[in-house]
A and B are shown apart, each in its own frame.
Chain A
Amino acid sequence: MNFVSSLLEALESLTSNKVRTALTMLGIIIGVGAVIAMLAIGNGTEQAIVGEIEGIGTNLLFVMTNREDVTNPEPLTIRDAEAIADPIYAPSVSAAAPVIQGQAELTAGGNVATTGLVGVTEEYRVVQNVELSEGEFFTGTQITGLASAVILGTNVAEDLFGRSDGLIGETVRVSGQPFRVVGILKKKGGSEFGNSPDDQILVPLTTAQTRLLPRTTKNQVDLIYVSAIDADSVQQAEDQISLILRDRHKIKLGEDDFNIISQEMFLDMASTVTGVFTVFLGGVAGISLLVGGIGIMNIMLVSVTERTKEIGLRKAVGAKKKDILTQFLIESSLLSVIGGIIGIILGWLLSLGIGRIAAASDFILTPAITINSVLLATLFSAAVGLFFGIYPANRASQLEPIEALRSE
């Protein structure tokens, strides 16, 4: 019996009971659809997060105080940052930018806004790749001289003035004190992790320290951004920073009172989390596919019982075991493969829909349907059809011709 005519016969048999066929397929459709949608969302989330982290810059390191493992950590200071930037002790470091971070209330012309405030030095511009749409970044004199100068993020400018250009020289009150606007940051666009530069203001570090966000220790900073000379030197830079800070903080044994975090670590962490997330989603969806497969087995068993006489007749006119076996396997695979194809389309639509909903709530998620997930779903559903078809098909092929014929 050739394959094409077997296929046609299987199609004919499936279409002869359309409702049953459709209901059986539904299990596979939902299963495959769920697998596709869940994997797409998992992958999309991962890509979004990875993109976000990569946006930070590949050669960036964060140095912060370790408050978790050490009871009385020595705070980081501007002097630490200067030491880290020393090209002799840290040849792999190109710049170190100490910052102070906090919140501040701004007023201008009757408008009030609460924003993130970052106290910065000149190095911040290099390390964070700051670009201004107008004005100039703080000069060295402004930073050392405790200048009352401020650079506004575009959203902040919009909130206070209703526009984000032509604002140089305007006065803004930061925590009640008058500051002169010297620059506006270029718009960066949405960020999934909140503190987008668009919603921040920058002031000179010294100004922040003395007047806006006073810290207990002299010269204390919250965080030091360090950029390595290139992406390959990140590890060396990390080691050099470690040595310098241990020496400065007089740590001989035990836990460091600072943490150095690289983008690599963020990426690792994020992909571990999203990986687990994706596997979990895929697993849940896989279970529904399994349930769909059991549905196929169930219907195929019913079908074998119903068609015992037909099987007997086919054997009486010369069908071999393998003919009957393939007939039923083709039917069950056809059920699951057609269901699988519809499921892929459904899953695709579903993930598009979820992407839309996410976008509407400001979470940029582009569901990523990969060739791999389509292949996985197709192969998995075909395998489900074959696997769950084997038992019924085998049962059919083992029937004795005369007994099958006699059944009513």
Chain B
Amino acid sequence: MTEWVVEAKDITKVYQMGEIEVHALRGLSVNIAPGEIVSIMGPSGSGKSTLMNILGCLDRPTSGEYSLNGEAVAELNDDQLAEIRNRGVGFVFQSFNLLPRATALANVELPMRYAVLNGRNRKKVATEALEAVGLGDRIHHRPNELSGGEMQRVAIARALVNNPAIIMADEPTGNLDSKSGDEIMTLLKNLNKDRGTTLIIVTHDPEIAELTDRVISIRDGRIAE
């Protein structure tokens, strides 16, 4: 048995653009242990987001083996992948990706709506998650009534509400100033400390990489050592 949450071997990803093939990942292997905080760095276009999407089961690799929590992802159907995205991973995006018309509370409730066990206390859990990210007094605000840092905290609350083993964040601080960025990092690190959540963070910022246990560098779709 494996002791890795993330176990990826020889992952490739080829985008077919008409005649041209774009090799975004060229045989990349990476293992991440439970409870680890890992940052992924590399120049623009090196394949960081592509890797993240595959690790988060938003996308499938062209070839290679990938196991999440010991489960071979290639053998899962679309519905099973949806379930992993729902309960196994929490995603935090650079551009927040909140539902614009829904309140903070409704946004945080969203993953619970698609959960198999969708309990009666959805509102309560969502409120607690918002309180945990320090937005207890903003639960009825809509995204356009929140600051960038606040929106990202709503997104984090949404990511953690189903208690996933891993939270993946693709440049979570990319659209924020350094103060809000620091707050987001503190929040994520506390989550790791309190719940043992594994964190995978894509970043361009060396200061943020500094705060993580391990830095994985990527260049041209390969691990750069």
- Residues on A lying within 8 angstroms of B by beta carbon are 1-2, 5, 12-13, 16, 309-310, 313-321, 323, 400-402, 405
Contact = CB atoms under 8 A, between A and B. Distances in A.
Given A1-B113, A323-B114, A402-B53, A318 B87 contact: yes
B115 A316 contact: no
B82 interface: yes
Contacts of B91: 316-317
B59 A1 contact: no
A341 B87 CA distance: 41
Interface string B48-83: 000001000011000000000000000000110011
A398 B158 CA distance: 24
B110 interface: yes
Interface string B112-136: 0111001000000000000000000
Contacts of A314: 110, 114
Contacts of B97: 309, 313, 316, 405
10 contacts: A1-B113, A2-B118, A309-B97, A313-B97, A314-B110, A318-B111, A319-B82, A401-B59, A401-B85, A402-B53
Nearest to A13: B101
B79 A318 contact: no
Interface residues of B, number: 23
B59 A318 contact: no
Contacts of A316: 58, 85, 91, 97
B82 A402 contact: no
A302 B81 CA distance: 28
Contacts of A400: 59
B86 interface: yes
Given A317-B110, A318-B111, A321-B78, A401 B86 contact: no
B99 interface: yes
A320 B78 contact: yes
B118 A315 contact: no
A321 B97 CA distance: 20
A316 B88 CA distance: 12
Given A318-B82, A318-B86, A310 B99 contact: yes
B29 to A, nearest CB: 22
A320 B59 contact: no
A400 B59 CA distance: 8
Contact of A317 (B59, B101, B114): B114
Given A5-B113, A402-B59, A320 B82 contact: yes
A5 to B, nearest CB: 6
A317 B79 contact: no
B47 to A, nearest CB: 14
B124 to A, nearest CB: 15
Contacts of A323: 114
Contacts of B162: 318
Contacts of A13: 101
Contacts of A5: 113
A316 B52 CA distance: 13
Given A320-B82, A402-B58, 6 more contacts: A5-B113, A319-B82, A323-B114, A401-B58, A402-B59, A405-B93
A405 B58 contact: yes
A315 B85 contact: yes
B99 A313 contact: yes
A404 to B, nearest CB: 10
A1 B97 CA distance: 21
Contacts of B86: 317-318
Contacts of B110: 314, 317
A316 B53 CA distance: 10
Contacts of A318: 82-83, 85-87, 111, 114-115, 162
A319 B78 CA distance: 10
A310 B110 CA distance: 11
Given A315-B82, A402-B53, A402-B59, A320 B114 contact: yes
A401 B81 CA distance: 11
Interface in B155-206: 158, 162
A309 B95 CA distance: 12
A12 to B, nearest CB: 8
A13 B102 CA distance: 10
A358 to B, nearest CB: 49
A401 B78 CA distance: 10
B99 A319 contact: no
Given A2-B118, A317-B85, A318-B114, A16 B58 contact: no
Contacts of B101: 12-13, 16
A392 B185 CA distance: 41
B66 to A, nearest CB: 15
A317 B58 contact: no
Nearest to A309: B97
Contacts of B99: 310, 313
Contacts of A320: 78-79, 82-83, 114
> Which has the most chain A C-beta neighbours within 10 Å: B58, B82, B86, B91?
B82
Contacts of A1: 113-114, 118
A319 B118 CA distance: 13
Contacts of B93: 405
B147 to A, nearest CB: 20
A315 B115 CA distance: 12
A318 B91 CA distance: 11
Contacts of A321: 78-79, 82
A371 B25 CA distance: 64
Contacts of A405: 58, 93, 97
A5 B123 CA distance: 13
A316 B168 CA distance: 12
A13 to B, nearest CB: 8
A148 B83 CA distance: 101
Nearest to B93: A405
